[in-house]
Amino acid sequence: MNNFRRYIFPGLYGLINYLSIRLLLDTVTGMKFWERPLLMNIAELSLSALSGYLLLGIHHRLYVYFDKRWGNDPMHSKRVWKEAGIIALVTILFQNVTYTPWAALTDDGLQWYDAADINIIPLLYSLIYYGISRSNKYLQAYVNNKMKLQEVMNDQLQAELKFLKSQLHPHFIFNALNTIYFQMDEDVRAAKKSVEQFSELLRYQLYDQQQTVAIRHEIQYLHSFINLQKVRASDKLVLHVAFDHALYDQEVYPLLLFPLVENAFKYVGGEYWIRITASLDGDIIRFRVENAIPAISMPARAGGIGLENLRRRLQLLYPGKHTFDINRTDRTFNAAITIQPELVTYPNVTTTADEDQMRHHR
């Protein structure tokens, strides 16, 4: 195929040019070119074949020139117009140098329709050839641009997720360290246990935010966080926690459930109760956190940046496959999310999060 394109097609291209011009001229003038002297026809056909080799050779030299001059530029419309314009100009000059003198010296001389056919028909074929021969370049440029755009979008997504993760709960770290600091004076064993739970929390945060984890790990993380918060919480806190065991075979992105629990402990007040529930409804994960709030002086947007970050992370990680609802009354704050993840089944998993945690401590 390469040999045909290199050695045979240029001659055929030149003959197609000539025969198209000849056919159009003979239609207008009524001439029959096959009735002309044989040597003249052979000479014209030979000249046409030779011109095909020369013109297409010029084409490919121009392509090399284009790629050197604009090699770093994408194949946008402005570049295509520039290239096509140069090709058109070169083709017109070439045809007038080769075909026009021959037309002036043969038959009835150079007529206006001769000049029109000599310039228009080869120009049309030349632009068609340019479009076909450069189509691979266009396609490659399009694919490269799409890949670069996708890479940029992925980089932006990862950067935003890392930024959101870094903002997740720095104040919680200070609170936890403060709690452990005061425990050291009162109960060293309890302080050691708090340090262990705190280290588990920090270790879990090292999970890649682009990779899913079994939800049992997310629930275990919440248990560690809740146990650590109970040390700081008032004895009058009424806490209800219920996690459906059917959830444990699901996969989610890490640290999605945590902001709702953290928000509840941060703003709990009034009747001082918190309810945390998680269940599986078909293939939908439902997670809800409710807490009592003071009857007065509660900010209208409790949770602030934590819940806003959660909303954005859900949009990035589960586009079109989640809901996030917040409902506030005078005495309660209710936040709920639903997620439709991909199901990943782990065989023979029957342990609860507490059992997993106890096994880890041993």
The 10s digit of each residue's pLDDT in 163-214 is: 555 554 566 677 777 777 777 877 788 788 778 777 777 777 665 455 788 8
Which amino acid does the sequence have at 138? Y
Residues in the chain, total: 362
The pLDDT value given to residue 135: 81
The pLDDT value given to residue 80: 84
The lowest-confidence range among 118-122, 291-295, 358-362 is 358-362
The pLDDT value given to residue 348: 39
**CATH no., domain 167-361:** 3.30.565.10
- pTM for the model stands at 0.50
DSSP labels, 284-334: EEEEEEEEE--SSS--TTTTTHHHHHHHHHHHHHSTTSEEEEEEE-SSEEE
Once rounded to an integer, what is the mean pLDDT over residues 124-151? Answer: 77
The whole-angstrom separation of Cα 267 and Cα 264 is 5
**Closest Cα partner for 264 from 293, 223, 294, 222?**
293
Q: pLDDT tier at 278 (50, 70, 90 boundaries)?
A: very high
The whole-angstrom separation of Cα 60 and Cα 133 is 9
**Closest Cα partner for 298 from 274, 263, 324?**
263
Q: pLDDT tier at 276 (50, 70, 90 boundaries)?
A: very high
The whole-angstrom separation of Cα 352 and Cα 288 is 19
The pLDDT value given to residue 104: 81
DSSP labels, 136-157: HHHHHHHHHHHHHHHHHHHHHH
What is each CA distance from 125 to 3, 83, 122, in whole angstroms? 21, 15, 5
Mean confidence (pLDDT) of the chain: 79
The pLDDT value given to residue 217: 87
Higher pLDDT, 295 or 86: 86
Task: Choose the most confident range, by mean pLDDT, from 20-34, 243-257, 334-348.
Answer: 243-257
What is each CA distance from 120 to 19, 55, 56, 90, 93, in whole angstroms? 14, 15, 17, 13, 12
The lowest-confidence range among 98-107, 143-152, 290-299, 329-338 is 143-152
- Where does the chain hold its CATH 3.30.565.10 domain(s)? 167-361
